[in-house]
Structure 1
Amino acid sequence: MSASEIPQGLNGMDLIIDGWFHERGTLWPGQAMSLQVAEVVYHGRSKYQDILFFKSTNHGMVLVLDGVIQVTEHDEHSYQEMIAQIPLMAHGSPKKVLVIGGGDGGVLREIARHSSVEEITICEIDEDVINYSKKYLPTLAIGYTDPRVTVKIMDGSVFMAQNPGTFDVIITDSSDPIGPASVLFEAPFYKGMHDALAPGGVICTQGECMWLHKDLIKPLIQAVSKFCTSVEYAFTTIPTYPSGQIGFILGTKGKESCKVPVKVDREMEESLNYYNKEVHEAAFVLPSFARRAIFE
């Protein structure tokens, strides 16, 4: 839920009961995720949202925004590596990369592994997420130390409109489609991403869960297919996200499928915890129920 939708008096701290943080989201009714809390290290409210960092007993540091788990140190690599490496490897030799959201810095960390990249720009509207992630999630926020990174504290849609035909890869690392983030799951935003791509470019966005959000994913893919050359859905497994799975919507501009990586870097794969060429290709193989629900 967005900050404006949080009932009066409820905040991240209200979700800690008997030493456990309980995530209950409106987008996953009837189920919840609980993590045992060792220590709360920060809680406050930015201009945009409620922010909570706590040390868990088994999952390391945890970032929670508006009551929803965004990152745990235990499993963040499966999300950060896949949302970044799939489009980067599918492109093959990106030089200019844009990140929308992703204030924790994990996507930046993954992009920085690529020597072909000359410029990395991140548009994050909430500067507090960046500042507190640098303090409490240094293994992710290390991405900000790369000299190729430029930080823009602003609306990513505005920045893309100002830079048409510019970027080889655009990655949107967003929260769920409720409150302020809802516009990031609408066709005009995807059209803005497509227009900001250079020829042959790739976009990749957080694409929600195939177990929970088929009715959201299908119409979005249908809308995006009207202006992208190809539109595909891939996924990764991640224990602390709803139903243990999160998807990615990938679109291209003058380029065909992203299912097979153009670039394969076995040396880089040795430094990664989740992504490799085989996982890249397998990520697009959907269970029958999801394939039918999303694409038929």
Structure 2
Amino acid sequence: MYLCIAISFIDNSGKDLIIDGWFHERGVLWPGQAMSLKVKKVLDHYRTDFQDLLVFESENHGTVLVLDGVIQVTTRDEFSYQEMIAHIPLFAHPNPKRVLVIGGGDGGVLREVARHTGVEEIIECEIDEGVIIASKKYLPSLAIGYDDPRVSVKIMDGAKYMEENQSSFDVIITDSSDPIGPASVLFETPFYNAMYKSLREGGIVCTQGECMWLHLNLIRPLIDSISQTFSSVEYAYTTMPTYPSGQIGFIIATKGRNSCKVPEREMTDVVQKELQYYTPELHKAAFVLPAFAQRAIFGDKAK
């Protein structure tokens, strides 16, 4: 049986994270609500070069990775996010060969991209090496993605890497934390312009797109802005129990191709049996938005 060593655990910003054995996630992007998980054991806590990092073993959600007080991964439900952010763009592309992952230091997206045997090269650009180190130590079921020989890791700013690699990738996946701190630039138009330039013709980008219940004020302006550049811009989503409001979205945009709502390639039975969330049917359903979100994000535009 594990015991919580301290009654109160405080991150480097001075905010209480663990009180009386419970982790509490409270963020400025979801005011008035919180997420709490019971802690069995704190595994690690330190300041990386960029952010506060906490790893703990929870009572019911397995190992939990927290950055700046915000849950990034729990081993109980991570597959719903990792599978959808990777497989929606990859199966929407008829023949992806080179894939760039920006962020995603836990390795989960790499794990999913590696299931596509036709992909020849996978580049990960992660600015915070501390996340990779912690994930390899505490999240081996995700970090297994680093073991694939097609994977190369660049510890650097993703925008700079894309500037140096124009028209290079068939799919770019940005697995970022929320638009606060080091990840804030990943939600701005210049970053999307950089992705556009780094895509090959016919390429697809898929980025963490925040929550329709909380962040329509962030989603709509960004989609409006990048729609002037990309051939198509769409919003899909997945359910995610330990993310705010239990839902997280993806902004999916293309260069020289149309909608990504229907898979272009069939999945093998072997891969489907390995997956826990994504199916071709869910791929299509992920783009079907509730009426309030459809109106708020796209206005009078046709579905």
Could you tell me the TM-score, scaled by structure 2's length? 0.94
Q: How does 1:58-137 map to 2 (within 5 A)?
A: 58-137=60-139
Q: Which of 290, 300, 303 lines up with 1:287 in the alignment?
A: 290
> In structure 1, what is the Cα distance between the partners aligned to 2:280 and 2:130?
35
Alpha-carbon distance, 1:92 to partner: 2.5
What SS is found at the alignment partner of 1:133? helix
Distance in 2 separating the partners of 1:40 and 1:287:
39
Select 2:263's aligned residue among 253, 261, 264: 261
Return the alpha-carbon distance in structure 2 between the equivalents of residues 190 and 261 of structure 1. 23
Shift of 1:7: 8.7
Moved over 3 A (4+): 6-9
Unaligned runs of 5+ in 2: 1-9
2:276 to 269, 273, 277: 273
Q: Which residue does the alignment assign to 2:32?
A: 30
Is the Cα contact below 8 Å between 2:12 and 2:52 reproduced in 1? no
**Partner of 1:254: helix, strand, or coil?**
coil
Superposition TM-score, scaled by structure 1 size? 0.96
Aligned-partner residue type, residue 249 of structure 1: I
Is 1:10 the counterpart of 2:6? The answer is: no
Q: Which runs of 5+ in 1 are unaligned?
A: 1-5
Cα distance, 1:238–1:8 mapped onto 2, change above 3 Å = closer
Secondary structure, counterpart of 1:113 in structure 2: coil
Identity value in percent: 69
Contact preservation (8 Å) 2:208, 2:249: yes
Q: What secondary structure does 2:88 align onto? A: helix
Q: Does the 8 Å contact 2:235/2:251 carry over to 1?
A: yes
Q: Secondary structure at the match of 1:172?
A: strand
Of 113, 131, 144, which residue of structure 1 is paired with 2:146?
144
Q: Deviations over 1:18-57 (max 9, x none)?
A: 1000000100000000000000000000110000000001
State the Cα RMSD in Å.
1.1
Contact 2:11 2:69 in 1 (8 A): no
User: Which residue identity lines up with residue 263 of structure 2 in the other structure?
Assistant: P
Count of aligned pairs: 289
User: Which residue in the other structure is 1:164 paired with?
Assistant: 166
